[in-house]
Structure formats: C-alpha cells, structure tokens
Amino acid sequence: MSDNYTALYEQHKKAGASFTDFGGWQMPLKYESELAEHHAVRNAAGLFDLSHMGEVWVTGPQAAAFLDYALVGKLSAVAEGKAKYSLICDADGGIIDDLITYRRPSSEEGVDKFLVVPNAGNAAVVAAALLERAAGFDVVVEDASAETSLVAVQGPNAEAILLKLVPAEQHLLVTELKYYAAVEVSIAGDELLLARTGYTGEDGFEIYVPNQDAAELWEALLEAGEGQGLIPAGLAARDSLRLEAGMPLYGNELSRHVNAYAAGLGPVVALSKESDFVGKEALAAIKAAGVGSTIGQKLVGLKGTGRRAARAHYSVLKDGTLIGEVTSGQPSPTLGYPVALAYVDVEHSAPGTTVEVDLRGKAEPFEVVALPFYKRSK
Amino acid sequence: MSKVVAGLKYSAEHEWVAADGGGPVGIGISAVAADALGDIVYVDLPEVGSTVTAGETCGEVESTKSVSDLYSPVTGEVTEINDAVVDDHALINNDPYGAGWLFKVAATDEGPLMTGEEYAAANGGEL
C-alpha cells in the first residue's frame, strides 16, 4: 500500500507526532500523550487532521434523485445547508461505507449540489461506486479528495476558538450553526466550508480547506486556541473518543459482511423512499426477517466490571458458550472503566445482561449497557 | 528518539534488567516499549514470592491501544513489586528506568540479554 501524506505532514512532524498507517495514509497517531489529547477534547479542545477522508462532489439537475438511488437514505429530503449521515450499500445490503452528505446551495437554477464525505480507505471505492451508479442520471460526480484537506476542532471550547478567526459580522453564522449543518464563512482570510459535525461526542467543527491553505489554517487555529486549552490530537484519541460516544468505525463495526439492522443503523435506511435504491430489496428482506431484533446478532455496548479491557476480535461468552465477538474495546479514559462494542446474539443483547469476555484465556465479567457510553452534558 | 540506558541489560521483549550487584535485580520495560505502547492504563505484575522463568510471561501491560505480555528476562523468586506503578501507571511512561521500575527478582539464571548498545542498534533507541 502506498503512503499518502497530508498537506499537514510538516506540521505534525514539528509537533512531535508519531505516525501510523491508516487507510493508506501516514497519519498522526498521537503527539505526546493520547490520554492528554483525549481529555483535552472532553474538557477544552483538540485539533485533528482528517485530510485522509474523501470529498466527492455530486452536482446536477438530478443530483438529489441520484443520491436517493445510490445511498440508503432520503437525501432529497435534506434541506440546503444541512447534512445527513447515511450508508452506501451493496445490492446484497452489505455496507460499502458510512458517510456524511452535505447539501450545499447551488448558484445555478435547477441544479443541486451535494458534498459526500466517505472514510479514508473507502474514498476511491465510494467515488467509483457513485460514478458507476450515476449512469442514466443527469449528474456530475467529481472526486476532490486529492485536493481537499479537512481539519476538525472538537471540544467545548471549539466555538470560542472559531470566533477568534471569523470576522465579527459572521459570528452569528457560527453561533447559530446547528449540529449537522454547514455554512461558508471567512476563516483566517479564506472562504471555507465550516460544518458543525464530528466524531468525538463533543461540540465541534469540521473545516474543508484546499490543500494549499491547510497549513495556514492549522497554524491559525493553534494560535487562536492558545489560552483555550487547544492541542493537536491524533488518531489514538479520535478512536477512544468515538468509542466512548458509541460511534461505529468502518472496518471494526461496519463492513460488507454486516448489515444496517444488525449494526443498529436501521433508522438510516429509508425503505419508505418511493424510488428504488441499491440494496433496497435485500435490506427490506433482512428487516422483515427480524435481523438484529429477533434473530441474528446485534451491536451492543459492553461495560467491563473488572479493570482489564476487551479488545477487537475477543470472544464474548454467556455461561461459557460463545455468543459473539468484540469489534472495538479500550479502557475509557473519561469513565474510568473498560468499554467495548460487540456483536452478540440478540437474545443476550438487552441492557443489564451479564456476559463474559475471553481476555486471553480468562473470562472476565462485562455487562451489556445502552449506547452511548458517554454523553456530554449540555 | 526513545532513550536507552547504557548500563542496563535488555531482553528481546523490551524488558531491562538492572546490572547485577549480588542482590535482587530490578526489572522494567524500556522507553522504546513504553513509547510504542502509548499511555499505560493497567499493569499486572507477578506476586511477591512467586517464581518467574526467563523468557516466559509473568504479567501484562495494557495501554489505551493495546495489551502486551510482560516477559521475565531472568529466572528466580520475585522479592518485591513496585506498588507505585500499580497506582500510577504514568510512572512507566514518564520514567521507565527510574520510578517506573516493575519488580525485583533474586535471579538464579538469566535469558539471552543484550547490552544497551546492542539493544539500541536493534530497536532504534538513543543511548
């Protein structure tokens, strides 16, 4: 696998990052302490480089109808300026990727414009699938991943930091920006797309920026964050934060071998859409069969009652019998006990059920709990 | 670059052994290992009075991202464990050769060990 470097590689090196391969990208794993980075996001703010994520523009008179066909959600119902979490599935219902789609204003009458954001390792696959599915639609699919960087500021102080870089007359655009919405604002002198989205369970923003302006934006945010507790945060903190927030990770909880109903993402699938969409027939059958509710397995949260953490691929047992497998697990830095996500047989999926996880030969007690593990107090 | 202390001996599994002065030897994990593991959040150490065997597992070290077996670099009876690191795991990351030591063994034998120079050459540490 070839190594891609983001436009912020020099910034990361300067900040003392240790790097890891993620989806073909050399990404900062941590700078000094991943625990300090985790706590900074919960208590103050963290700065993330997410430039490994994809950006695919979908534009044209039939852009909305096309996305209704290509994705499982009803994207045509998304209002301009808003965003929606959705899935792109195979014809058999397997998940190709989970992604966020932003509906943007279009300058041309009768033309709709969307920005689709797939995960790092899936960006090319998603772009190719969208291109293939676009046949017969009056739509242009343009993969801008290679030219676009993505920077996130996450944490309770994120808004205050952004306001330092946005001109006063645009402050209301930021303060009134709702969760899962985006707006064009002037940040550090550039017109950039600012989205109130994230993957940490905290308030925060994601900023789309052309590669050539990314380093300048990164430095400006770090400077604006001085005195606000902002520090750069790597993938290790991103993973522990998203796990506490109960958010699935493609490759761990989601894959082509998993369906939306088992993953707890049934509500994302708009079976009621009048139009056909890829995977509709298979997903309707999976739902009708009761997968994830009365048969098969279901994704649940597990709370460890001991100190040792469960890890991905460990076996989940009930009275010594195999009932499932852990997909992600760590000690929760915020909560102070081990947390994990696991697929377990539905009959053992109710919160309060006690199970065991095989921790390298020793069965340790865990309890099924409702997700998310951590929810910020508003 | 992670620090390697010249006067210690090292196992291939990244444990260090304090130079033998006749008494029990101190054992810990190298800064190379501590840095690679990330922030350590749990340690399981052998019990005082138990016997450990060179090259065999005697505990585990758990970080936010992963878990690693702890191998004993020597054979002998455990005479002392460092209670401070059980309470404050950050000592292992912050001072792996000092306050972050793990346990002591009255050693009767030792496994294949490297000098600091050999360990640094093999693992990219800095003397």
DSSP string, B30-86: -HHHHHHH-SEEEEE-PPTT-EE-TTSEEEEEEESS-EEEEEPSEEEEEEEE-HHHH
- Name, in order, each residue with C-beta under 8 angstroms of A344's C-beta and a sequence gap of 6 or more: A297, A298, A300, A316, A323, A324, A355, A368
The SS3 call for residue A328 is strand
Gap from A35 CA to chain B (nearest CA, Å): 7
CA distance A335 to A178: 27
CA distance B97 to B30: 7
Copy the structure tokens of residue A214: 């990314």
Query: Which chain B residues are closer than 8 Å to A335 by Cβ?
Result: none
Query: What ipTM does this complex have?
Result: 0.82
Neighbour-count burial for B102-122, b at 16+ CB within 10 Å, e otherwise: bbbbebeebbebbebeebbee
Is B16 within 8 Å of B95 (Cβ atoms)? no
Gap from B91 CA to chain A (nearest CA, Å): 13
pLDDT of residue B124: 87
Handedness of CA B65, B68, B70, B73 (dihedral sign): negative
Copy the structure tokens of residue A298: 């279901």
Residue A81 has pLDDT above 70, yes or no: yes
CA distance A377 to A202: 9
Q: What's the mean pLDDT in A272-276?
A: 94
pLDDT of residue A279: 98
Q: Do A240 and B64 touch (CB under 8 A)?
A: yes
Is A235 within 8 Å of A22 (Cβ atoms)? yes
* Average per-residue pLDDT for chain B: 93
* Average per-residue pLDDT for chain A: 96
pLDDT tens by residue, A175-223: 999 999 999 999 999 999 999 999 999 999 999 999 999 999 999 999 9
Residue A73 has pLDDT above 60, yes or no: yes
- Name, in order, each residue with C-beta under 8 angstroms of A315's C-beta and a sequence gap of 6 or more: A322, A324, A325, A326, A357, A358
pLDDT tens by residue, A240-257: 999 999 999 999 999 999
pLDDT of residue B22: 78
Residue A1 has pLDDT above 60, yes or no: no
Is A250 within 8 Å of A265 (Cβ atoms)? no
Decide: residue A282, CB within 10 A, 0-12 exposed, 13-18 middle, 19+ buried. middle
Q: What are the Cα distances from residue A198, in Å, to A152, A153, A156, B16, B117?
A: 7, 9, 12, 42, 46
Closest Cβ–Cβ partner in A34, A35, A309 for B62: A309
Q: What's the mean pLDDT in A305-327?
A: 96
Q: Do B42 and A240 touch (CB under 8 A)?
A: no
Q: Do B39 and A35 touch (CB under 8 A)?
A: yes
pLDDT of residue A137: 98
Residue A376 has pLDDT above 60, yes or no: yes
Q: What's the mean pLDDT in A75-93?
A: 98
Residue A378 has pLDDT above 80, yes or no: no
pLDDT tens by residue, A87-105: 999 999 999 999 999 999 9
Q: What's the mean pLDDT in A148-163?
A: 98
CA distance A74 to A274: 10
pLDDT of residue A377: 84
CA distance A51 to A56: 13
pLDDT of residue B64: 86
Whole-model pTM?
0.93
- Predicted confidence band of residue A2 (pLDDT cuts 50, 70, 90): low
pLDDT tens by residue, A282-301: 999 999 999 999 999 999 99
pLDDT of residue B125: 86
Q: Do B62 and A331 touch (CB under 8 A)?
A: yes
Residue B20 has pLDDT above 90, yes or no: no
Choice among A37-46, A114-123, B17-26, B76-85 with the minimum mean pLDDT: B17-26
Residue A349 has pLDDT above 90, yes or no: yes
Decide: residue B19, CB within 10 A, 0-12 exposed, 13-18 middle, 19+ buried. exposed
pLDDT tens by residue, B68-100: 999 999 999 999 999 999 999 999 999 999 999
Q: Do A34 and B62 touch (CB under 8 A)?
A: no
Query: Which chain B residues are closer than 8 Å to A249 by Cβ?
Result: none
Q: Do B64 and A307 touch (CB under 8 A)?
A: no
> What is the percentage of chain B residues whose pLDDT exceeds 70?
99
Nearest Cα residue to B31 out of B1, B2, B61: B2
- Predicted confidence band of residue B21 (pLDDT cuts 50, 70, 90): confident
Q: What are the Cα distances from residue A235, in Å, to A8, A314, B42?
A: 14, 22, 21
